[in-house]
């Protein structure tokens, strides 16, 4: 896939030469991608889609796609392999609604929900959010609706992230008794929404 100019990349973007012989670093250099900035452009341009083996970040290359979790965890692993500690992997909870995520509008309407708290992964560099989920992704897509965020490590994008998200949803349902749904019901609705994102 050719590297093209990306107007969504920030002026203050992190960059370093890829020197490590680690697995992820080698995946990039084997593709003649030799800097973090080039890697970021490559990852942004990959299609949005769930990976066959979320625990194996190298499947982003074989699947030729990734989610917010796998794409950003992959770049965090690349930074870690090259001892570039300034890049942080973040999971934030935001109010996913018809305004910031138009693809899920019909699903939310079907279940009479104004929004669903959604967990979203991204990177931070010097307090600047870097969102490479899709070609047109930008922090303003969710920043106004951000509820909370925590720093995680790449290994935490699977069980830890799911549990963190579900625990928040359980608490949210408990505080919003008018939403007559179980946690399992809400999670199924959330999965419908994610499918809409994959389809679109």
**What's the pTM value of the predicted model, to 2 decimals?**
0.89
Q: What is the pLDDT of residue 7?
A: 42
CA–CA gap between residue 21 and residue 90 (Å, rounded): 25
Q: pLDDT tens-digit profile of 49-103?
A: 989 898 899 999 999 999 999 999 999 999 999 999 999 999 999 999 999 999 9
Over the stretch 14-36, which tens digit does the pLDDT of each residue have? 999 999 999 999 999 999 999 99
DSSP string across the chain:
------TTS-TT----B----SHHHHHHHTTT--BHHHHHHHHHHSEE---S-TT-TTHHHHHTEE-HHHHHHHHHHHHHHTT-TTEEEEEEEEEEETTT-GGGHHHHHHTT-SEEEEEEEEEEETTEEE--SSTT--GGGTGGGEEEEEEE-GGGGTHHHHHHHHHHHHHHHHH-TTS---HHHHHHHHHHHHHHHHH-
Does residue 197 have a pLDDT over 90? no
Mean pLDDT across the chain: 91
pLDDT mean over 157-172 = 97
Give yes or no for residue 134 having a pLDDT over 70: yes
Is pLDDT above 90 for 200? no
**What's the confidence (pLDDT) of residue 66?**
95
Domain boundaries, the chain: 23-81, 92-199
Buried b (16+ CB within 10 A) or exposed e, 150-168: eebebebbeeebeebbbeb
pLDDT at residue 183, rounded to an integer: 97
Quote the pLDDT of residue 138: 87
């Amino acid at each position: 896939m050719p590297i093209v100019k990306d107007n969504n990349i920030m002026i203050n973007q992190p960059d370093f030469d890829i020197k490590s012989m680690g697995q992820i670093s080698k995946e990039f250099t084997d593709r003649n991608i030799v800097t973090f900035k080039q890697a970021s452009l490559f990852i942004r341009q990959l299609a949005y889609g769930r990976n066959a083996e979320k625990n194996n970040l190298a499947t982003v290359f074989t699947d030729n796609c990734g989610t917010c979790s796998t794409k950003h965890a992959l770049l965090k692993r690349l930074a870690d392999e090259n001892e570039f500690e300034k890049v942080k992997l973040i999971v934030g909870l935001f109010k996913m609604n018809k305004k910031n995520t138009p693809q899920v509008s019909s699903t939310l309407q079907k279940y009479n929900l104004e929004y669903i708290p959604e967990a979203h992964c991204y990177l931070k560099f010097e307090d600047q959010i870097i969102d490479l989920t899709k070609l047109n992704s930008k922090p303003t897509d969710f920043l106004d609706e951000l509820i909370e965020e925590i720093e995680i490590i790449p290994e935490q994008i699977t069980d830890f992230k799911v549990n963190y998200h579900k625990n928040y949803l359980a608490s949210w349902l408990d505080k919003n008794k008018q939403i007559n749904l179980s946690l399992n019901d809400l999670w199924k609705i959330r999965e419908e929404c994610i499918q809409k994102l994959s389809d679109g």
